[in-house]
A = this chain, B = another copy of it.
Amino acid sequence: MTDMLQPGATIGILGGGQLGRMLAVAAARLGLHVHIFEPASAPAAETAARVTHASYDDADALRAFAQSVDVVTYEFENIPTAALDLIESICPIRPGRRALATSQDRLVEKTFLNSIGLHTAPFAPVTDIASLNAAIAAVGTPAILKTCRMGYDGKGQARLKSPDDAAAALASMNGAPAVLEGFIDFSAEISIIGARGIDGAIACFDPGENVHRDGILHTTTVPAKIGPSLRSDAVLIAARILNALDYVGVLGVELFVTPGGLIVNEIAPRVHNSGHWTQNGCLVDQFEQHIRAVAGWPLGDGSRYADVVMENLIGDDVLRVPELARSGVALHLYGKGAPRPGRKMGHINRVTSRQ
């Protein structure tokens, strides 16, 4: 492991939200220093040795940041390309640029997934009313129109119940390139969180089953209620993506369970909300696994030793903390200020049984 960063080396993290915060804690546990780059004040600042508050178009700040670290990783995928170019001229970025370029754009992502033999919802590109009408003809309705870039937690999306909704849906895209996705008849959504080391080794956490509320992840339950064959399909899908992208780090893959098998909903080139259960279900959680990978360390033991229900605390859910603190669940709060509707304030892991 000649590429293995030594304790005392520094990992740069782009983004200082709760994912960056939990990555910083995992890095500290391995004796690694952390430098967070984040435009706003944000939760990760409290758990990192060093923070740069600067904009992603501040070249001087980016350069100083990149020069101060041994490797750069990130907690979100929508990082401006120019910033990445500048950083990469100075130090390695893991996971690499191909993973970012693929996942930053829904159209590129779906095309990539199909190209490596994986199934997605039917989709078609949309830039104007003509291409939208063509897309509706190809994938049918109901369907969902999504901006190609920058969407998350249900933002940048419009549903089309029938072709009559086309004009309104297109208007809500504000001129941004979009993709029309056909609806999938699925019985469940599961996630698989996979990791690939710098040596090409792959380790996947057990798939979890997701339930959303108002477009935001509400709970992830492990084990997912799927049989062994779907379970191994999920692992094989994650492994195929990880290898095809020559990936280093943790990757989240959302999958639809359908009568015809698993369909990839989307991928995230980072630790993922649906992997938070690993903090109380595995010796090495997704955050440490990601830090191990990007630091060039061998992957750790991510085998699941408990059944867990992860539940997000969104907005005023955080007011339940006093009651939750008494209830025997594991609490993970992000130290954010006032609760706002839709704001992820923390999560709990409820261990429902042990193995």
Contact = CB atoms under 8 A, between A and B. Distances in A.
A25 B287 CA distance: 14
Interface string A40-59: 00000111110000000000
A321 B25 contact: no
A325 B298 contact: yes
Contact of A28 (B46, B292, B328): B46
A33 interface: yes
B46 A34 contact: yes
Interface stretch (A145-153, A176-184, A243-251, A330-338): A330-338
A328 B351 contact: no
Interface in A290-323: 292, 297-298, 300-301, 305-306, 318, 321-322
A187 interface: no
A326 interface: yes
A330 B28 contact: no
A280 interface: yes
Contacts of A297: 325
B321 A7 contact: yes
A196 interface: no
B31 A330 contact: no
27 contacts: A7-B333, A7-B335, A7-B346, A21-B28, A25-B28, A31-B333, A31-B334, A31-B335, A31-B336, A31-B345, A31-B346, A32-B335, A33-B335, A34-B46, A45-B49, A46-B49, A280-B283, A283-B328, A283-B351, A284-B330, A297-B325, A298-B326, A300-B325, A300-B328, A301-B328, A305-B354, A354-B355
Contacts of A130: none
B8 A337 contact: yes
Contacts of A24: 47
Contact of A331 (B30, B47, B49, B351): B30
A301 B327 CA distance: 9
B33 A46 contact: yes
Given A28-B47, A292-B325, A8 B335 contact: yes
A38 to B, nearest CB: 14
Contacts of A33: 46, 335
Interface string A81-108: 0000000000000000000000000000
